[in-house]
Amino acid sequence: MSGNTFGHAFRVTTFGESHGVAIGCVVDGCPPAIPIDLAAIQTALSRRRPGQSKLVTPRQEADAVECLSGLDLESGRSLGTPIALVVRNADQRSTSYADWHHIYRPSHADWTYDAKYGLRAWQGGGRASARETTARVAAGALAEQVLQARFPGLQVVAWVERVHQLDASAAIEAATVSRDMVDAHPTRVPDAAMAQRIEEAILAAKAKGESLGGVVRLQIRGVPPGLGDPVFDKLDAQLAAAMMSLPAVKGVEIGSGFEAVEMTGSEHNDPFRWEDGNLVTTSNRSGGIQGGISNGMPIDLRVAFKPTATVLKPQSSANDEGENVPLQAKGRHDPCVLPRAVPIVEAMASLVLVDAFLRQRGQVGDPWPGLKANGD
Amino acid sequence: MSGNTFGHAFRVTTFGESHGVAIGCVVDGCPPAIPIDLAAIQTALSRRRPGQSKLVTPRQEADAVECLSGLDLESGRSLGTPIALVVRNADQRSTSYADWHHIYRPSHADWTYDAKYGLRAWQGGGRASARETTARVAAGALAEQVLQARFPGLQVVAWVERVHQLDASAAIEAATVSRDMVDAHPTRVPDAAMAQRIEEAILAAKAKGESLGGVVRLQIRGVPPGLGDPVFDKLDAQLAAAMMSLPAVKGVEIGSGFEAVEMTGSEHNDPFRWEDGNLVTTSNRSGGIQGGISNGMPIDLRVAFKPTATVLKPQSSANDEGENVPLQAKGRHDPCVLPRAVPIVEAMASLVLVDAFLRQRGQVGDPWPGLKANGD
Amino acid sequence: MSGNTFGHAFRVTTFGESHGVAIGCVVDGCPPAIPIDLAAIQTALSRRRPGQSKLVTPRQEADAVECLSGLDLESGRSLGTPIALVVRNADQRSTSYADWHHIYRPSHADWTYDAKYGLRAWQGGGRASARETTARVAAGALAEQVLQARFPGLQVVAWVERVHQLDASAAIEAATVSRDMVDAHPTRVPDAAMAQRIEEAILAAKAKGESLGGVVRLQIRGVPPGLGDPVFDKLDAQLAAAMMSLPAVKGVEIGSGFEAVEMTGSEHNDPFRWEDGNLVTTSNRSGGIQGGISNGMPIDLRVAFKPTATVLKPQSSANDEGENVPLQAKGRHDPCVLPRAVPIVEAMASLVLVDAFLRQRGQVGDPWPGLKANGD
Amino acid sequence: MSGNTFGHAFRVTTFGESHGVAIGCVVDGCPPAIPIDLAAIQTALSRRRPGQSKLVTPRQEADAVECLSGLDLESGRSLGTPIALVVRNADQRSTSYADWHHIYRPSHADWTYDAKYGLRAWQGGGRASARETTARVAAGALAEQVLQARFPGLQVVAWVERVHQLDASAAIEAATVSRDMVDAHPTRVPDAAMAQRIEEAILAAKAKGESLGGVVRLQIRGVPPGLGDPVFDKLDAQLAAAMMSLPAVKGVEIGSGFEAVEMTGSEHNDPFRWEDGNLVTTSNRSGGIQGGISNGMPIDLRVAFKPTATVLKPQSSANDEGENVPLQAKGRHDPCVLPRAVPIVEAMASLVLVDAFLRQRGQVGDPWPGLKANGD
């Protein structure tokens, strides 16, 4: 009800303010007896961690995860009980925010939190900080392990497709991108030439105290057909909510997205074709989802991130005493969140999928009809 | 869990197949003692009704709504108990679908329902049919009444901004569009010249057995600041899910949307300013939502609809016996769903808002801080 | 949130006032492809129906159920989509309640509904009427079919064990009671001699305008081990809530119940024993549930119903204008609800079990470890 | 879905195994700006703490609570965001359980966890241990603070009414019992003479390696009328579930409970009466709840606890290899959980009430009709 829980069958509840004691999550509904690799969760956190390159915020956080519950003490397997994961905050420096206690920073959530609750954790943005996504990444890494225990061929891969005016989409063959290719460059653009140009653009923006937005592309391969619940909990609706719930996201597209508008129906339809006993579509404008249910083709998504609101330039703003005041931000600054957004987008996708899988297994059983038809 | 319920505090559960006995919904959580205008619900249904113009499907449905429960028999006021609304199906003609019993129509949900459940209501698409949205419109009209009982200045207005290559956005001043302006033309494009051109394009597509997609724009004015729950249930995340849960939607943008990517942070930020005791932003790239919470500015949304999958042209497809077969659709055909999508988009928006309002009242009380600050 | 939905995976939402247009429910989450026997649902409703004997209220209702959705039109199998079931009200006679419009009847819900909502459906008690349980029985009969499709040996059997001072427990061997035995007498006491005495007691109370309470006993046999979620959703907690949510219930016991207090730990513990590859307990004071999870032994429950509040005797009461006034009830009167409570208790038990089954299948899969161990 | 969350508007998710790293909870939905007294939460934990007297288990746990999130760093007020509370386990001694790794202890949850999940945290019972209630007490103490911020006159008071054959109910005037009276004796029996006799009985059982059950009585005074949702979420249904979800509980009664069966309707009905502008009942067999909604009278509840399953006597049992084996428990032993159950029962009651309050405020607003009528 208060929005800090995600999922129905695999439920993740996150907690923690940016400058509080800790960030964490409780995962309820994890299937039992699954070997949990805490090191893999730590690796996922490191991909999201601040300070990992000169392209992102220098806040220093080891983001070491501690598991408080839910694992068998001997085997490390999941017990089926809640798994609590906690990351303590280290480099909080809340003094650097002291000047902003009473100012509403433009396009931040300062004013809206005050409007909603009457107070806010003004140090570092509280829950509105991207630091909250630490817990999502930890939970998502867990979700991915649960998914792969059942669907070893499933791949959740995101990358930076565009930053500001630099669009790398033409240079990247989406079907072949791997996480290794993505992580080969700190920009997480899986094309060396474009990665280089984008890095330069980010550093130039950083030097000017500016910030840049961009597009993250997500592909999920090896998705079994039949996931997603029709009507309100369509798989695409849940993915859209998952992505739009991330800080700085302003748009989401599935498959053809807004380009669908430029086609007629017969241009846009994806023809079906049986191939080796599997039903495939010979194009994928549907983005792997039809009627809200996965059809077995890759799920294909684009997420638009605005340039982050913190810029080190003078801005006009207002304070909580009814005055219009100038604002000059100081301190740490993340010129482009896109590289760090990649593991977060993947985490949210894994959370959506694992929930859809457990819901499907609950209502229909496992294997379900589409798995049989696919020879899975 | 199975996806047929929307909302947490104002919960709508819909039921009914396109060619079954009836379509309907149960609304649980409606506040008590609110005068319910069933005629206004009927009016909303008529705006969504098939057969209302030559631009849409000729299926003949009066869509007369019957209320089975939840209203005081004498005063017509809500009792606070579940309100069940039912619309019986009339013109089902399922024989016209008989040929398709075993064929998976391209870009429909035939295959995915079979993959998920092992059977499907193949007559008219069952729950995947846009007919399911009848229940959403009824519930949304109820939601709007609840909202306006508390916020008389709230306006939820959607319109067709674009169809296929014809983009009317430059011709329309979003801030001034009213429902009357929208309904002045059967295309629901609130600009006479563009409406005329778009009508011609739709009729041309109809003549060719083609279908066209487009963009619906939504503006919600008079929104109180403070609605929406941070983190997973951000107001924009819920709106995105609501819209992406509609048939044929492929993309959603809030505020600046994908155009945000083209700006730097200082270009994109919305400066705050106190005006007459209200905190406003002097631009609205945030689309009325910051940190997932309404900031009091108009909520601004764009929804991309693909061209509908039913086209009266030969297509290559597959059947449920592993054969690749040609398909030639016959029968009724909706060349462009955009005009009918307008009241559906409005309904979903109202459902999101009323739920956010009741959740806010539950956690924080009413009035909440932002309402006081706004002099409400 | 507003309490008209039961269950998480198999979700039942009921609607309808006693004297409104109809009573009904929507079941979301029903597994697909299950043959649904609407006649069996009608039979269950007839067991709950008023007017079925001289022992119960003479209100005349055929309680004919109509299914609006969720079934395959050809095969009658469940589609996996919401199943809406509706029973129209016929014999409403709301004029007979007109005198009570402004009086709060003792131990009814008149005052509390007014206190909560500010208005109420005063005709016949609205949602607080036992008529609401019609929808529960319909949904429960559906649930039972889903359960038996997977667990053919499962038996849900309830009976009247006691009415007022007449306790039939010593005369009844709980392990052998069948529905046929229960339905052999209109009292639903499965012992002929006690049934006769209890019938006389009820008729004597009826003649005096009095009402009598009693105890319903429930046994569920053939329950697979492993159902129920630990901590808050223990199977016994859910059964207790299900029963306590019925009108007139004041107490619930599982297994030994309040008698547990009279034993020491070593007297109360149920020894385990392997028998033919199944783990059993040689006594069943646990009532088939340990740590909130079914252990494979029969679930054993007792539910105490108070005497219903409607008595045809003068009472002192109060009205909604602050006056203390006498009340003399007239009209229909149910001297003892116990016989009709039997199918309602069974329905609630089936709803709890089917939900637990689907939740277990979702989180752990099917078969789960306890089913294997049991050779199921 | 997996049963570790309680409540809808004020949602508590607990985590932690008895012998794992920590026990804790996350509370989502707490209203903002409420001064939170962490010391009072610690005090509540100390009332539940093991080792507090010779009457209970000697496990040594300081149960020091740490708050990880959700409070304003300066004022200590709630932020409206999730509040995470953690208690680290200290005295785990899991070696003392090593013998039991493969044995199913009678009337414990060893077998059922294995049957459900295929593995279990066998050290100390994992989640089935009463240690899990630590988190409930912390959350309940928080809930109580939220309740009292709005309803300063609300009192939630539980006590031990009976242990084994010793029934103190006749010696205790329920309406006047306070927490101080309850805590005056380690048995938590608020009558000195009966407390003394009960202490002796517990010590005698302890000496014999036996355990004793009993009855906890709960009274909640100053409850506003109008709380509780009709139909499935009746206030009494939620209280019953809350209590039955506690380890060792076998029965729950509201108001007259099973004794209701011995009365006729006119004997059982509670007459209404206006007194000083408040509507009261001149008896309280309803236990403060009518039609599932609070009527403003004290809520009155009895909870039956079985004697705990751990006894230091030889028992016959079975292991996980299909063998019937003897069991001789050693180690720590809690001869009577009743004294420690008192704060747990209070905590669950507070959780039910605060959820009902926030749900009521959400749907109806605050004040609601019953509060006005009561002059609140």
Q: What is the pLDDT of residues B143-154, one digit of tens each?
A: 999 999 999 999
Percent of chain A surpassing pLDDT 70: 96
Determine, for residues C28 and B13 on separate chains, whether the beta-carbon distance falls below 8 Å. yes
We report the CATH number of the domain holding residue C340 as 3.60.150.10
Interstrand relation of A324-328 and A314-319 (parallel, antiparallel or unpaired): antiparallel
| Integer CA distances (angstroms), B348 to A252, B133, B229, B250, in order | 18, 10, 17, 16
pLDDT per residue over A294-351, tens digit each?
A: 999 999 999 999 999 999 999 999 999 999 999 988 777 889 999 999 999 999 999 9
The first and second tokens of residue D364, run together, are 């109806």
**pTM of the shown model:** 0.97
Phi, psi of B313 (to 5 degrees): -130, 155
* ipTM at complex level: 0.96
The position carrying tokens 């949904």 is C139
Answer whether residue C217 shows pLDDT above 60.
yes
Domain of residue B155 covers 5-373
Q: Quick one: closest CA in D to B78, which residue?
A: D364
Determine, for residues A287 and B258 on separate chains, whether the beta-carbon distance falls below 8 Å. no
| Interatomic CA distance for residues D213 and D162, integer angstroms | 8
B363 at the D interface (CB within 8 A)?
yes
**pLDDT band with cut points at 50, 70 and 90 for residue A63:** confident
Mean pLDDT calculated for residue range B57-72: 88
**pLDDT band with cut points at 50, 70 and 90 for residue C376:** very low
Q: Quick one: closest CA in B to C22, which residue?
A: B68
Mutation target for A interface from B14, B163, B249, B290: give the one with most A CBs within 10 A: B290
Answer whether residue B269 shows pLDDT above 50.
yes
Contacts of C140 (CB under 8 A, 6+ apart): C44, C343, C344, C346, C347, C348, C349, C350, C351
According to the model, what pLDDT value does residue C2 have? Answer: 84
Burial of A33 (0-12, 13-18, 19+ CB in 10 A): middle
Mutation target for A interface from D69, D78, D95, D134: give the one with most A CBs within 10 A: D69
Determine, for residues B108 and A316 on separate chains, whether the beta-carbon distance falls below 8 Å. no
Q: Tell me which residues of chain C, numbers 322 to 361, contact chain A at a CB-CB cutoff of 8 Å.
A: 358-359, 361
- Residue C232 · residue D6 · CB < 8 Å: yes
Mutation target for C interface from A363, A366, A371: give the one with most C CBs within 10 A: A363
Q: Quick one: closest CA in B to C8, which residue?
A: B1
- Residue C358 · residue C5 · CB < 8 Å: no
- Residue D268 · residue D285 · CB < 8 Å: yes
Answer whether residue A138 shows pLDDT above 50.
yes
| Interatomic CA distance for residues D99 and D107, integer angstroms | 17
- Number of domains making up chain C: 1
Determine, for residues D366 and B366 on separate chains, whether the beta-carbon distance falls below 8 Å. yes
- Cα C23–chain centre separation: 16
Answer whether residue A9 shows pLDDT above 50.
yes
Contacts of D132 (CB under 8 A, 6+ apart): C231, D14, D16, D18, D23, D247
Of C147, C139, C120, the residue nearest C17 (C-alpha): C120
What is the residue-level pLDDT of chain D in tens, covering all 376 positions?
789 999 999 999 999 999 999 999 999 999 999 999 999 999 999 998 877 888 877 777 788 999 999 999 889 999 999 999 999 998 665 555 566 789 999 999 999 999 999 999 988 889 999 999 999 999 999 999 999 999 999 999 999 999 999 999 999 999 999 999 999 999 999 999 999 999 999 999 999 999 999 999 999 999 999 999 999 999 999 999 999 999 999 999 999 999 999 999 999 999 999 999 999 999 999 999 999 999 999 999 999 999 999 999 999 999 999 999 999 887 778 899 999 999 999 999 999 999 999 999 999 999 999 996 444 4
C23 neighbourhood in chain B, CB within 8 Å:
69
The position carrying tokens 């020091």 is D64
Alpha helix stretches (DSSP H) within chain C: 38-48, 110-117, 133-150, 179-183, 192-207, 235-244, 265-268, 338-364, 369-373
D365 at the B interface (CB within 8 A)?
yes
Of C29, C364, C365, the CB nearest to A363: C29
The first and second tokens of residue B34, run together, are 């609110």
According to the model, what pLDDT value does residue D94 have? Answer: 53
| Interatomic CA distance for residues C364 and C226, integer angstroms | 10
Contacts of B273 (CB under 8 A, 6+ apart): A316, A318, A324, B279, B280, B281, B282
The first and second tokens of residue D253, run together, are 């009664």
- Residue B244 · residue B368 · CB < 8 Å: no
B234 at the D interface (CB within 8 A)?
no
Other CB atoms within 10 A of residue D247 CB: 25
Contacts of C280 (CB under 8 A, 6+ apart): C272, C273, C274, C296, C297
Burial of A17 (0-12, 13-18, 19+ CB in 10 A): buried
Interstrand relation of C249-254 and C299-305 (parallel, antiparallel or unpaired): antiparallel
Residue A95: half-sphere exposure toward Cβ, Cα within 13 Å: 0
